[in-house]
Amino acid sequence: LSEWIDFVLEAQKLQQSATALDESEVATKALLCLEGAMYLILTGMSMEKSPNLDSEALKMYVDTLDLIGDIGSVFSTELGPLEAKIVVLTTRCQSLLLLKLFQFNTRLGTNVVWYINDYLQRCPVPKIVPMSQSSGKRPPQIMAEIPYQLYEDFNKVFATQMALLNAQELWGRADQLASYHGIEETFKQLDIQCGPLTFKSPLVDLVRYVKEAARMLKPGLAGTRK
């Protein structure tokens, strides 16, 4: 318990430091907030180790994902090299957090998948709901009646799969951003120092990678006011 509370306090301290900065110091504020978000990820990881805190850990990851999305959206579309590096980092973070949500929900959703499978085995042909004939050239829709619980379970499975697809899309977007802005060398240096960050990297490696990236980028923050 004390471990994840310490992480939350550290995240709050970094957030307060960012809030105290002048509004013009956009890059510095973003980097501090991103560092703070790493402590929230550590909080979620710590919660996972505790009995009966799965739902709290999941909420922590979801909230952190939203926060990091906000951090990456503060910059204008015309990015300088430093801002582009921060956006690439936030995009990587979003990708791996979405992958974590996919893995988390897949583990928790085993019973959901079994329920869907059981229903489809028992009812291979769904009950067709009569629909009025459509007008014009559009063909009439065929609607099937299913239990509401099954509908909810389909939504859960769909959301889980979308998390994986979005994670893959964001990882590719980060690669494209790094290439477009010509900043691949920075991330090659980070890979050498921290070990390569890949789509399969665990969150603990992501946290270490982002912390090292923040340390590398801070000397270049002077003169970045907007």
Q: Where are the domains of the chain?
A: 2-108+164-221
CB 44 within 8 A of CB 188: no
- When mean pLDDT is compared over 3-7, 50-54, 65-69, 137-141, the highest value belongs to 65-69
**pLDDT tens per residue across span 62-75:** 999 999 999 999 88
CB 106 within 8 A of CB 164: no
CB 43 within 8 A of CB 56: no
- Does residue 133 register a pLDDT over 70? no
Q: What is the pLDDT of residue 225?
A: 56
Rg (CA), the chain: 22
Average pLDDT value over all residues in the chain: 90
Residue 37: pLDDT band with limits 50, 70, 90: very high
Q: What is the mean pLDDT of residues 47-53?
A: 88
CB 40 within 8 A of CB 67: yes
Q: Pick the more confident residue, 86 or 2.
A: 86
**Residue burial 177-208, b: 16+ Cβ < 10 Å; e: rest:** bbeebebeebbeebeeebeebeeebebebbbb
Query: In Å, how far are 68, 94, 138, 152, 165 from 162, measured between CA atoms?
Result: 19, 13, 29, 15, 5
**Rounded CA separation 26/78 (Å):** 14
Percent of the chain topping pLDDT 70: 93
Q: What is the pLDDT of residue 135?
A: 57
- 30: exposed, middle or buried (Cβ count in 10 Å: 0-12, 13-18, 19+): buried
Q: What is the mean pLDDT of residues 104-123?
A: 84
- Does residue 95 register a pLDDT over 90? yes
Q: What is the mean pLDDT of residues 44-56?
A: 90
- Does residue 30 register a pLDDT over 60? yes
Percent of the chain topping pLDDT 90: 64
Tell whether pTM > 0.85.
yes
CB 206 within 8 A of CB 20: no
How many other CB atoms are found less than 10 A from the CB of residue 168? 15
**pLDDT tens per residue across span 156-203:** 889 999 999 999 999 999 999 999 999 999 999 999 999 999 999 999
Amino acid at 1: L
Q: What is the pLDDT of residue 1?
A: 63
Q: What is the pLDDT of residue 175?
A: 97
Of the candidates 9, 2, 72, the one whose C-alpha atom is nearest the C-alpha of residue 36 is 9
Give just the sign of the alpha carbon dihedral 201, 6, 215, 98.
positive
3-class secondary structure, 116: helix
Q: What is the pLDDT of residue 139?
A: 66
